[in-house]
A and B are shown apart, each in its own frame.
Chain A
Amino acid sequence: MNVQMRGQEGAPSVVRPAADIYRTADAIEIVVDLPGVDREQISLTVQENELVLEAERRESEGDRVGQARLPVRFRRVFGLSDLVDADRIRATLEQGVLRLTLPKPERARPRRIPVQEV
């Protein structure tokens, strides 16, 4: 991905989208705001210990008026620990919100260990 100058006219700057992160017994859930983005315009890649999210939306028609500008390009990198199973990450997109489910590997899930009477 090309590095872009922030605020450069004509080339929209890359914005770090807001995210909520939750931990459940079985997984890490990441919820990311990507308003205006189509499913096909989202790229998710796992490399080393990082999950890289890149997305872009099509700008609306018409000439922009004033200073206010909605983000067009998004990028965010999430660090992955050994406590997630990178091969089984699931992603869904709804109403401009991306939800990532990063399952914990079996060995990292809480287990109840029965105590045996001897």
Chain B
Amino acid sequence: MAQTWPWRGSPGPLADLQELFSEVLDDFVEGLPVGEGRFPPVELRRTPEGYRLIAAVPGVDREDVQLSVEGQTVMLEGERRAPEAPDDAEPLRRERGAGRFRRTVRLRDPVDTANVTARLERGLLMVDLPRPEEQRPREITIQVEEGT
């Protein structure tokens, strides 16, 4: 049986060590280089509901980005087009890059893949990945008996 790290509790002897490293464990970029280094840059956050993965994709149209989630792997694929410029435009500096990109982020904890939502806002792709229902913390009411 595959071992998954629980959200809370004692995750085992390796957990502390793993905590030191990025939870973004594995990623790669394919195709044309876009910008410097890996594209898109991402940030992972923990929210009360689960994870929020934020990818910076300025200038990328909604139709040009695809998102897929399988198990604990989130894949972003798409294309950033070169900015529109008149025919006579002479490029003096090009740092932003354009072309196809693909980036995979592996999460440490499982997510409820059926309920993943994403939105594109001011060039940021916000992906909300809720944790599975059974792994959410539950509030347990403790009954206190009146002393006799």
What does the 1/0 interface line of A41-68 toward B look like (CB < 8 Å)? 0000000000000000100111111111
Measured between C-beta atoms, what is the minimum distance from A50 to chain B in Å? 16
> CB of B4 within 8 A of chain A?
no
The residues of A that contact B85 with a CB separation of less than 8 Å are 22, 24, 29
The residues of A that contact B44 with a CB separation of less than 8 Å are 64-66, 68
> CB of B136 within 8 A of chain A?
no
For chain A, the count of residues having a C-beta within 8 Å of the partner chain is 34
Known: A65-B44, A68-B22. A18 touches B60 (CB 8 A): no
Q: When the two chains form their complex, are residues A36 and B45 in contact, meaning their CB atoms are under 8 A apart?
A: no
Q: When the two chains form their complex, are residues A96 and B94 in contact, meaning their CB atoms are under 8 A apart?
A: no
> CB of A89 within 8 A of chain B?
no
Q: When the two chains form their complex, are residues B42 and A70 in contact, meaning their CB atoms are under 8 A apart?
A: yes
Measured between C-beta atoms, what is the minimum distance from A81 to chain B in Å? 12
Q: Interface residue tally of chain B, by bracket?
A: 35 or more
Q: When the two chains form their complex, are residues A19 and B96 in contact, meaning their CB atoms are under 8 A apart?
A: yes
> CB of B86 within 8 A of chain A?
yes
Q: When the two chains form their complex, are residues B45 and A63 in contact, meaning their CB atoms are under 8 A apart?
A: yes
Known: A66-B22, A68-B22. A61 touches B92 (CB 8 A): no
Which of A29, A35, A60, A66 contacts B57, CB < 8 Å? A35
Interface residues of B (CB under 8 A from A): 21-24, 35-36, 41-48, 51-52, 54, 56-61, 83, 85-86, 88-97, 120-124, 126
**Known contacts A22-B85, A66-B44; can you find 9 more A-B pairs with CB under 8 A?**
A18-B35, A18-B95, A20-B83, A38-B122, A63-B46, A65-B44, A65-B46, A70-B56, A95-B122
Interface residues of A (CB under 8 A from B): 18-25, 28-29, 31, 33-38, 57, 60-71, 95-97, 99
